[in-house]
Structure 1
Amino acid sequence: MICQFSFKNFKSYKDETVFDFQAANLPEFKDSLLDTSRPLLPVNVIYGSNGGGKSNLLKAFSCLVTIVVRPIYDLRKNQIPFIQQRIGDLTCEPFLLDEGSKDQPTEFNVFFRIGGNEYRYYIALLKEQITSESLSRRSLKGKRTAVLFEREGSRITLGMSISKKSINRDVNSKMSYLSFLAINYDLPVIAEVQKWFESVIIWNDAGTKFDPGTMFTEDPVLKKDLIHSMNDMGIDIHDYRIDRETNRIWIQRKINKRKYELSFDDESAGTKKLLISLPVLLPALAEGRLVIIDELDSKLHPKLLRYIIYLFTNKEINKKGAQLVFTSHDMATMRNDVFRRDEIWFAALNDDHASEIYSLYEIRRENGMRINHTAAYARQYLEGRYGADPYLRNMLSWEETE
């Protein structure tokens, strides 16, 4: 499970930006939290105007994951699986709206938990060259942190758990040392970390070529769960089949005890999105994986989006600690009966035209008090109380005068 992700000098983000999954001490939805001893959030959503930096936040994490996993997939001569599709281009482009940032490294830092340990992985790059990198581990039952390796320029220092082995410290300056170790050595601790990075699902259906044979499952258990979920959302589907000769999908419906088939192409955009997305989301829930989706709300009715959120916040369903991160423009789900205050994030440009993020929990009212958990979040956002731009306030005025 991811605990925290931070980065610096990446695309529209200039200064250090911290995206937190560690739950604040809030009264709402305590039952949804993961790992009750040191609780983590199952869901984080990012709102904000176009150009504010929502997608770039996801691209930052996508870039980090790709740095680690791409050499591994290249060695296996595999393309990155469709459930780890890139969100746009993944060049580590620095902030370009000042004179100095382009000559400074782009930095990524992630904390995550595997079993009883918490790991910290850090990497910095300048013009595609890795300038610094480190991996450390700490037991959740203790306070001591063990450094597994550190890299500064071409100098690599190994921790005790790795240094006892005969390890090559000469690595290409464009390749992460974590990937190098995962590829060349049988080190359980490195394999565990590498497996976590590979488990991250980065999904962008808008940028993915539709391939029914890949995207639609014929696994009987997953297929049953998918159809059950569709029916649970009020979308009546009896079955579906894949025609391998034509590479087409046929949706089966049962009306008055008779079965009818309709082409997938004739379904609504929302139904299509669910049929494509659920084969990604349901295995993630079953395996406890992190899912990152840009514009999850696109083409979905708010009730369907709310159902997907519910899959991750209901611990009777989310038994393995899966986590969901997505961007959204949907105001209908920005509600106090859907999200905790620390699960709602906003991305916006500051006076220097650099992106910043902040959670609803961090916002203070004029009297210094936090936003109340009973507040009408969407209404207050449109009123500009959470840093919304003037367009949103004007839009609210238009609604009132109509």
Structure 2
Amino acid sequence: LRPLCATCDKVNCDYKVRKIPVEPFAFSEQAKDRPTEFELFFRTKKAEYRYILHVKEEVVIYESLDRVKMDTGRRSALFRRNSETTELKGVFGKFKISEELSTTLPLLSYLGITYKKNEIVNDVLDWFEDSVDFLNYGDPYQELRTAITKSKEIKSLVLNIIKEMDL
């Protein structure tokens, strides 16, 4: 909430939001050696999903997708991937995946490219496309949305932090 408040007009910001204490995130040497972990819970009209992605130095270490159907409440694992194996489960069990799947490409992205017409894959990807605002640092218009200081030292520090977090 604090970063959102910093971008708005202070007069219009709620007093409580402006009073949230800012606690800087400290990177430890141990945390630097561990993967960056993302866990998303989201709901569409058809199902609730849990997507987990662990990335280290742009390599996918672990990834999984689980689903709970809204109409039946039935839970099912759709896939699990780690550095050694990839398991497609349930309705994804009939899918074929390349033996040479890139270690830097999330399986969800691969399924989106290969099986975009599948109802479940389409449901998940539609949620990502509609609900997550991805920044493409190669796009000059989107780059303008990222406010970075003119100081070369601070800019370098911020960009290194983003890189170390695999963002």
* TM-score tier after normalising by the smaller chain length: 0.5 to 0.7
Counting only pairs closer than 5 Å after superposition, residues 186-265 of structure 1 correspond to structure 2 as: 186-200=117-131, 202=133, 209=141
Counting only pairs closer than 5 Å after superposition, residues 353-364 of structure 1 correspond to structure 2 as: none
Q: Distance in 2 between the 1:203 and 1:162 partners? A: 26
- 1:143 offset after TM fit, Å? 4.1
1:183-219 Cα distance to aligned partner (Å, 9 max, x none) = 1223221121111111125399xxx749xxxxxxxxx
The equivalent of 2:106 in structure 1 is 176
The equivalent of 1:97 in structure 2 is 27
The equivalent of 2:86 in structure 1 is 156
Q: 1:100 to 1:181 in 2, by over 3 A?
A: same
- 1:97 offset after TM fit, Å? 3.1
TM-score under structure 2 normalisation? 0.62
Contact 1:128/1:174 (8 A) holds in 2: yes
Q: Distance in 1 between the 2:36 and 2:87 partners? A: 22
Q: 1:177 to 1:142 in 2, by over 3 A?
A: same
Letter of the 1:104 partner, please give it.
R
State which of 71, 91, 95 in structure 2 corresponds to 1:165.
95
- 1:46 offset after TM fit, Å? 6.3
Q: Distance in 2 between the 1:148 and 1:139 partners? A: 12
- 1:169 offset after TM fit, Å? 5.0
Q: 1:188 to 1:168 in 2, by over 3 A?
A: farther
Aligned length in residues: 125
- Identity percentage over the alignment? 29
- 1:182 offset after TM fit, Å? 0.5
Q: Distance in 2 between the 1:163 and 1:169 partners? A: 15
Alignment partner of 1:118 is 2:48: yes
Contact 2:45/2:70 (8 A) holds in 1: no
Q: Distance in 1 between the 2:79 and 2:55 partners? A: 17
Q: 1:46 to 1:122 in 2, by over 3 A?
A: farther
Alignment partner of 1:139 is 2:81: no
Work out which structure has the larger RCO, using CA pairs closer than 8 Å and 6 or more positions apart in sequence: 1
Q: Supply the RMSD in Å over aligned alpha carbons.
A: 3.3
Contact 1:156/1:169 (8 A) holds in 2: no
The equivalent of 1:382 in structure 2 is none
In structure 2, the residue corresponding to 1:202 is in which secondary structure?
coil
In structure 1, the residue corresponding to 2:133 is in which secondary structure?
strand
